[in-house]
Amino acid sequence: MNTVGKIALFVGGTLFGSAGFKLLSSRDAKKAYSHVTAAVLRCKDQVMKDVETVQENCSDILADAKAINEERAKKEEARIIEDLAAEDAEETEAEGI
């Protein structure tokens, strides 16, 4: 590419960049940025509500799981006590015979 072409590209790029900068900093662009930012904030609020709901559900599930395990442990303990009582009864019966 010749020198004139390179200079023309540089000048064109500079003008395009300057016009783009002016366009991006215009009042209408700032208004658009404000609307987009407001939409993002609304979206963030909704996401945070959803996260709180999921956390509450997880807490409920954890509490239910702990209750199930406690109930299961009580049943297992009662079964062990019954088995020991039965063994004691068998031993007592065997000694008495």
Give 2's DSSP letter: -
Domain of residue 52: give its range.
3-96
Q: How far apart are the first and last CA of the chain?
A: 116
14 neighbors 7 (Cβ within 8 angstroms): no
The model carries a pTM of: 0.51
Q: How many domains does the chain have?
A: 1
What tens digit of pLDDT does each residue of 64-93 get?
Answer: 999 999 999 999 999 998 888 888 777 777
What tens digit of pLDDT does each residue of 6-46 get?
Answer: 787 777 777 677 666 666 777 888 898 899 999 999 999 99
